[in-house]
Structure 1
Amino acid sequence: MQQPGQSPAVREAVRASLQSDPVAADLRCSLFVSAAQSYKRDSVLRPFPPRYVSGENKDFDALMRHKMKIPDSLWSLKKPRPFLRNSRGVTPLSWTNFPLPFTNYSLLIIPTYDVASSLCSPPHCGCCRIIQLADVSSIPSVRDVVRLGPGEGEAQLGLVHWVLSSKNFTVKTLQREEYVRIQELAEPEGRCVPAPDFLFELQYCDQVNARFEETRGDRDLIYAFHGSRLENFHSILHNGLHCHLNKARTSLFGEGTYLTSDLSLALLYSPHGNGWHESLLGPVLSCIAVCEIIDHPDVKCQVKKKDSERIDRRRARVRNSEGGDVPQKYFVVTNNQLLRVKYLLVYSEKQHRRR
């Protein structure tokens, strides 16, 4: 395993990622940790950080040691409790009032569970840390990351940089109000299902967008949900759904990637899983992918023939299907170039318990 020193450019790249969108950066760390700690890590942790590869061998032991120390580089206090502060005063930060956007807020990190404690008089007591949420470069943890010294700190910095880096896409945090618009794209009827606690958009580079648009041509787009275990989403983001086929589901209606227009059905395939213990999103998460699908004959679904009320059987059945036609509200994509993940819906178990 190689342990090269980290250049100032790496520190600046980490700082920039955390500064531009700390919640999205937190999500990427959570998905990486979930894959790394999975019993299927050899298959779900793809891509694998190259600095932990020697020849053809993956050094999972070294990776797990450094992975478990990522939280130490994010919070310098061992048991902090966060409080929001704005012009109206100081209030405890809960998972349901996390402010988006961050402007006009500060975050007090108080090493006590009582904001009125005589041992602490925030924010001028000296034991509290103030984080300007609109300027994440002032977070103590960010200063810790960019000023790490040689040795183990270098490995942590390199790992965080690798997790947050990608050439083909970026992850952007969206306002929760955007959920209504996104749900209507895939589920116009608006079924009564729980709204996600966090919402993200995948923004692809020009080259990826151009390739997708070339494949699409003048065809329409279909939006549908894909549910999967949390540990799979690190690979899904980087490699696409074609590298993550669920054999248990594909065996009945044929080979392909399964999606649905019913969010409640997708949620059945996305159980809450262990993520990153120190995550702002919560340590136990569930994730749903909202995908763009090109309306092509290789997308099997219940669709009527043109100028007819009859179902187009050529679109309704996958080759070698054992269960017959694809059921209503399902899509089976048999051509990997016809779909991509566009949004992520994230549910936090901690938030639901507090409601």
Structure 2
Amino acid sequence: MDEEFVFKFLNQNLLGCDLVFSFFTSAVNSLRSDSSVRPFPPMYFKEDGIEKDFNSLRSICNSMPPLRDLPFLPNMEKHIQLLTWLYTKCDPISYTFFTQKFNENEFPLNISGFNPKCIFKINHSSSSEQSWNARKGTFNTSLAFHGSQLDRFYSISRVGLQQIFSTKTNPLFGEGIYLSKHLSTSIIYAPYGAGWINSIIGENLSVVAVCEYIDDISKQRKLKDSRGSTIKGMIVVTDSDYIRVNYLLVFSKKIKSISGNGNIKLIIILLFVFLAIILYSNKFLREFKMFK
């Protein structure tokens, strides 16, 4: 049954599944994994039910084959068990992939001058959507960018943006979730990080979230510089329930071929080069013997 669930998810949304596991692996291998892996897979608690077995969990994550190969490999029971929990039991979120040829003019915020490898839209569940609309009431909503380190995005995608992520990285500016109207500002806080070595999106990723926030000024505060002047284009949301992630801009230093055709083409080219060298060598030897 677990296999059917996992293979169904992979078949429907391979890139979305790949991204989720890249986030998870980055969190598991993080130096702050105890706080980054939230929620934690229950099957990797030790016998006392309190201590977390990170060694076993890292072993499974780091030995996970490319997801497109998983249905054809033996002895993958533990890997499939983890993916089943991650995709179907751990508050599953649907990621819709936008092609790399995404028209930036159709995107709701200005991303001109940047070239994300992938853009994902998060499809919120109906219950989540109802709760959001109830909180929003008669208020309008707006969009802004939020940059964070890669190992934070597993928890961000599961439990939402929390103030704890902001207070540790921006202690000088006080509590709150920091947003910017400018991608050039938020991307500074989204350095490239090590994800998952077998990811088809890329091994090293930088991610910026596009967030929707409720325009309730009682849940916001202005960000001021050292002179007391308000910093334009910056928004600080003080209540985690008044913000959600709608899009993910994923930047990759190297994107792999989904079908593997790139490697096949390279092999074919090398074979043609090798044959050409052999034919040229034979021709040269014949001409040399005739001359001799």
Distance 2:216 2:229 in 1: 17
Counterpart for residue 258 of structure 2: none
Aligned to 2:33: 41
2:190 match = 270
Match of 1:115 in 2: none
Deviations 1:178-218 (A, max 9, x none): 462564x333xx6x432210111111111110000111112
**Match for residue 5 of structure 2 among 10, 13, 17:** 13
- CA gap 1:218/1:177 in 2 versus in 1, 3 angstroms: farther
Q: Using the alignment, how far apart are the partners of 1:249 and 1:324 within structure 2?
A: 21
- Secondary structure at the residue paired with 1:186? coil
CA distance in structure 2 between the partners assigned to 1:12 and 1:323 by the alignment: 60
Percentage of identical aligned residues:
31
Q: For residues 299-335 of structure 1, give each alpha carbon's deviation from its aligned partner in whole angstroms, at most 9, with x where no partner exists.
A: 53xxxxxxxxxxxxxx5369xx977455111110001
Q: Which residue of structure 1 aligns with residue 50 of structure 2?
A: 56
CA contact (8 A) 1:253 1:324 kept: no
- The count of aligned residue pairs is 253
Q: Distance in 1 between matches of 2:106 and 2:158?
A: 22
TM-score by length of 2: 0.79
Question: How far is 1:247 from its partner?
Answer: 2.3
Using the TM superposition, name which of 164-173 and 270-279 deviates more: 164-173
Change (3 A) 1:236 1:141: same
In structure 2, stretches of 5+ residues that fail to align are 256-292
SS of the aligned residue for 2:162 comes to helix
The gaps in structure 1 that reach 5 residues or longer are 1-8, 76-138, 301-314
Who is 1:142 aligned against? 71
Change (3 A) 1:175 1:207: same
| Partner Cα distance (1:140, 1:186) in 2 | 36
CA 245–22 in structure 1, closer or farther in 2 if over 3 Å, else same: same
| Cα distance, 1:323–1:163 mapped onto 2, change above 3 Å | farther
Offset at residue 244 of structure 1 (A): 4.3
Task: Select which of 134, 142, 149 maps to 1:214.
Answer: 134
- 1:177 to partner: Cα distance: 4.4
Change in Cα spacing, 1:344 to 1:244, as seen in structure 2 (3 Å) is farther
Which structure is higher in helix share?
2
Structure 2 residue identity aligned to 1:284: N
Aligned mates of 1:141, 1:283 — CA distance in 2: 18
* Distance in 2 of aligned mates of 1:242 and 1:323: 28
Contact in 1 for aligned 2:163/2:175 (Cα 8 Å): no
When residues 262 and 155 of structure 1 are mapped into structure 2, their CA distance, relative to the original with a 3 A threshold, is: same
Q: 1:339 to 1:278 in 2, by over 3 A?
A: same
SS of structure 2 residue aligned to 1:163: helix
Match of 1:346 in 2: 250
- The 10-residue stretch of structure 1 (337-346 or 217-226) with the greater mean CA deviation from structure 2: 217-226
The answer on 1:68 being equivalent to 2:62 is yes
Which of 17, 20, 41 is residue 28 of structure 1 equivalent to? Answer: 20
Q: Superposed, which structure 2 residues align to 1:1-355 within 5 Å?
A: 9-54=1-46, 55-71=49-65, 74=66, 140-144=69-73, 148-149=74-75, 153-165=76-88, 166-167=90-91, 169-178=93-102, 180-181=104-105, 183=107, 185-187=108-110, 192-242=112-162, 244-300=164-220, 316=222, 324=228, 326-351=230-255
Query: What amino acid does structure 2 have at the position aligned with 1:154?
Result: E
